[in-house]
Amino acid sequence: MDTSETYIKMLRSAWPDLKDNVPIQAMLFSRRQRMLYVLDNKIVTYREHRNTSNVDRAIPLLEQDQLQEMVGLWVNNRFGVAKILNKFQYFWRKNLSSDLVWNLHSMEQLWLAFVMKEKYSKTWDGEKWEDHLKTQ
C-alpha cells in the first residue's frame, strides 16, 4: 500500500474525476473498514475518518486491485484480463523513455496513471493531471 506524498498528491488531484467511478465492489463496507484515507494531510483509518464532521473530504488511498477494477480488470474474465494487460504493457513501453514512468515509484502510482490515461485522457506531469490531448 502506497502512502507516499507523491501518491497522495496524485490521488488528491485525480479524486474529482475518480470519485464517481470507483466500482461498488471495490468500496463494499467490509473493504472500506480496512482501507486507509487521507484527511487534512493525515492518513487515517475508516473509524477515524467516520468519526469526524469532515467525512466528505476524506480521500481513500486506493489499492492496486481497486485501480485495476476501474479499467475492467477482473480475474474471472480471462479475455478481459489479456486485453487490459496488453493495453497496460503498451502504456508502460510507450512511456518507458519518458519521465512519467521513471517518476512513478509504486504499482499504485503506475496503475493510477494508467487509469487516468485510459478513462480521462490525462497524464501526470509531476504536479497535476494534464489533458493528454493538449500534451501531445
Give the Cα separation of 40 and 44 in Å (integer): 10
Alpha helices in the chain, H assignment, sequence order: 5-18, 29-34, 46-50, 64-70, 78-95, 99-102, 107-120, 132-135
Examine the pLDDT at 7 and tell me if it is beyond 90.
Answer: yes
- Here the cell at position 128 is 497535476
Give the Cα separation of 104 and 101 in Å (integer): 5
Neighbours of 100 (CB within 10 A): 20
Instruction: Give residue-wise pLDDT tens across range 24-54.
Output: 665 666 666 778 888 888 898 887 877 666 6
Tell me the residue type at 92: W
- Here the cell at position 85 is 494487460
Examine the pLDDT at 93 and tell me if it is beyond 60.
Answer: yes
Tell me the residue type at 53: S
- Here the cell at position 132 is 493528454
Give the pLDDT confidence score for residue 76 in this predicted structure: 64
Mean pLDDT rounded to a whole number for the chain? 79
